[in-house]
Structure 1
Amino acid sequence: MIDKVLSTMVEVIVPLSIPVISGALLGRYKNLDTKPLLTLYLYFLSPAIILDTLATAEISFDDVYKTLAFSLLNLLVLWALAKLIGRVLKLAPAEAAGLTLVSTFTNSVNYGLPLVLLAFGQLGLDKASVYVIAQMVIVNTVGVYFAARSQFSAGSAVRSVFSLPAIYAAILALLLRALGLHMPQEVASGVSMVAGAYSPVVLAILGVQMVRVQTAQAARNVQLAFWTGMSVRLVLAPLTAALLLFLLNISGTLFAVLLILASMPVAVNSVVLAERFGSSPALVSRCILWTTLASFLMLPLLISIVGSV
């Protein structure tokens, strides 16, 4: 088992770490501005990889149904766990909201997709595509609610979802599949070329964001919530995901991919919501950094386990 974990770490984590470390160094020593890169990622690279993947993905209706069912059930169970733990520990409203963000939203897009592609190949990326689209919708609707609650506006949440180009790319890809059509070869080649730039760019952005996470001077009332959030994301979340996948009778590559994506570290955009709506950004940012660092050890172990099941 140790040999397999080390092999997975070398084959998967080491390649991923190169753009992450490069981004971290550029952010630390060259003060790299990520705003243009985030615009590039959101409006160019993300739609391209979604369109390229969904248009040719080897996924069945059964895969789509099971993925969506798992996404919603996993969200509800983790939300309930976070709410229960927050009440038992008598966390303040801000820390309770921050714990909910930490527990429910993972870095499945800009870390999860490259990881799945390296670990499980194109088939794994195909299986991951529906989950990623579901997460984009959930973060921009339910995520806003979790962070804002009383400030939540259903209309603004819907508008935020339909401001994402990736949603339209997904709709286009699904329409093409439903009608049995294909993009012209020249267009498809161009889209594939753009999609190929997705992984290194978004991983470099992740590296920059990691070195800019503020973790110092956390208040004492944040410490308990921090360790609770770490425990939920690193221990309870994978166990919950595995149980739900068994209950939904999901197996094979889809099981492995969904388990890995559900066990990813805290989503980086969670701290954006936390800062905007006062949901303990100190707690969320610390959990982002440390769950990401812990994932470099935990994910190879998890990939090795699901690979042998």
Structure 2
Amino acid sequence: MLQTFVTTVYQVFLPISLPVIGGALIKHFKPIDTKPISTLSLYLLSPALIFETLIGADISYGEITDTVLFTVLNMLLLWGIAVGIGKAGSLPAAERSGLTLTALFTNCVNYGLPLVLLAFGQAGLDKASVYVILQIIIVNTLGVYFAARSQFSVKQAALSIFKLPSIYAAVLAVICRTAHVELPQELNQGISMISGAYSSVALFILGAQMVSVRSGKTAYTAAMNKAFYAGLAMRLVISPVASALLLYLLGIQGVLFNVMLVLSSMPAAVNAVILAEQFDAAPKVVTRCILWTTLASFVLLPLMIGWLG
């Protein structure tokens, strides 16, 4: 077991850690603004990766159906557990919303996609692409609802989806596949060059964001501490166990099982704190959860990948 752990860390997490450490060091010593880099990743690199992956993805309609079914059921399951914990702990409304954001939304884009590619190869990335598209849609619809509740606007949530180029890239890729359209080789090469930059840039952003969201000397109330420990339990223990059981019940096996389990066990999503800040859904709790679940993932995920391998 120890040998498998060390091998996984060396082969998978060492390559990932270099751009993450680079981003963290630059952010620490040079207070750079990561927003323009995030914009580059969101509006250019990510759509190129999604398009290139989907248009050539080796994934069956059955696997797509399984991915959609698992994603929806897993979200409902985790939401129900988070609500139950919030009520049992008598958490205030803001902390309950923050806990829900932490429990449901994972860093499957900036962190998950590069990890899946290194751990499971192109076959894993193909199968991850559908899950990631679903997560993008869910975060920008139900994520707003869970963060805002009474402030929720259906129009706002719907419009936010259509502002994301990754959605259009996914639709275009599906159209090209369905119509059997073959792109010119030169265009494919250009798209491949852009998508190839995604992993290193996304991991750089992750490292910089980890420095930005460190907890510091903030004072926490008893309710905030309850929500924080509940968030850790949801992300690090309950979510992986619940996801594994659901995958078994759905009869999902092989590479798709591995990819879905890893992506659903990723640390809390960085964009969850954006929603938490916008709608006052305990942003300090969410920020603290993001930092500690990300740090813990560098130990827990190698163990999981080694076990799956």
**Aligned residue runs from structure 1 range 229-308, under 5 A:** 229-307=231-309
1:5 aligns with 2:5: yes
Amino acid at match of 2:175: L
Q: Which residue of 2 aligns with 1:217?
A: 218
Q: Check if 1:226 corresponds to 2:228.
A: yes
Looking at structure 2, the residues matched to 214 and 16 of structure 1 have their Cα atoms a distance apart, in angstroms, of 20
Give the aligned residue type for 1:304. G
Task: Give the 3-state SS of the residue equivalent to 1:182 in structure 2.
Answer: coil
Counterpart AA for 1:286: R
Matches within 5 A, 1:39-188: 39-188=39-188
The amino acid across from 1:218 in the alignment is A
- Counterpart-to-counterpart distance in 2, 1:303 and 1:78: 22
CA–CA distance in structure 2, aligned partners of residues 46 and 158 of structure 1:
20
Amino acid at match of 2:126: D
Unaligned runs of 5+ in 2: none
RMSD across aligned positions (CA): 0.7
For 2:129, what is the secondary structure of its paired residue?
helix
Letter in 1 for 2:80: A
> Aligned with 2:91: secondary structure?
coil
Distance 2:214 2:10 in 1: 29
TM-score (norm 2): 0.98
- Structure 1 alignment gaps of length 5 or more: none
Q: Deviation per CA, 1:12-52, whole angstroms, max 9, x where unpaired?
A: 11110100000001111011211110110111001000001
The equivalent of 1:191 in structure 2 is 191
Shift of 1:214: 4.2
Report the identity percentage.
56
Report if aligned partners of 1:218, 1:282 keep a CA contact under 8 Å in 2.
Answer: no
Q: 2:46 & 2:31 partners in 1: Cα distance? A: 24
Runs of 4+ with deviation above 2 angstroms: none
Shift of 1:78: 0.4
How many angstroms apart in 2 are the aligned matches of 1:25 and 1:306? Answer: 32
Task: Indicate if the aligned counterparts of 1:214 and 1:282 stay in contact, CA closer than 8 A.
Answer: no
- Number of residue-to-residue matches in the alignment: 307
Q: Distance in 2 between matches of 1:148 and 1:96?
A: 11
Supply the AA of the counterpart residue of 1:209.
Answer: Q
1:102-140: CA deviation from partner (whole Å, max 9, x where unpaired)? 000000000000000000000000010000000000000
Name the amino acid aligned to 1:31: P
- Structure 1 CA distance, aligned partners of 2:233 and 2:62? 32
